[in-house]
Amino acid sequence: MAAAKARYRDENDVRRATVAKLRATGTSQATTLREASVWAAAWNEAEPAWNATPGGTLTAFNDLIAQATREQVAVRASLNTFRTRANKRNLLAQQLEDASEA
């Protein structure tokens, strides 16, 4: 994003306006993914054929976003499974405690 802002800073057109409003201040994975998606859309609008770095194509960036999104979904599913199992374990522990007091 910084490279795009530098690239278009002297241009007085849609590209400059498109990238000028972008921010990368995400403090969470979800925010970072949203900002990355906004940046990808702006990149696509401004100059989709531009490579931000050697090999740093818009397609490669979109692939990274997709991969990160899949990983985030997998982590959420794992956390939900963990929470469910932890709740069952806690219930069993409580039942054991209740039974031992009887």
How confident is the model at residue 89, as a pLDDT? 96
Q: Up-side HSE of residue 39: CA atoms within 13 Å toward CB?
A: 24
The distance in angstroms from the start CA to the end CA of the chain is 65
Answer with the residue of higher pLDDT: 10 or 36.
36
The domain limits of the chain are 2-101
Nearest 5°: CA angle at 34, between 28 and 39? 125
Average model confidence (pLDDT) for the chain? 87
CA–CA dist 8, 13 (Å, integer): 9
Tell me the per-residue pLDDT of 21-66, one tens digit each, with 9 for 90 and over.
777 888 888 889 999 999 899 889 888 998 888 888 999 999 999 9
d(CA 47, CA 14): 10
Query: How much is the pTM?
Result: 0.71
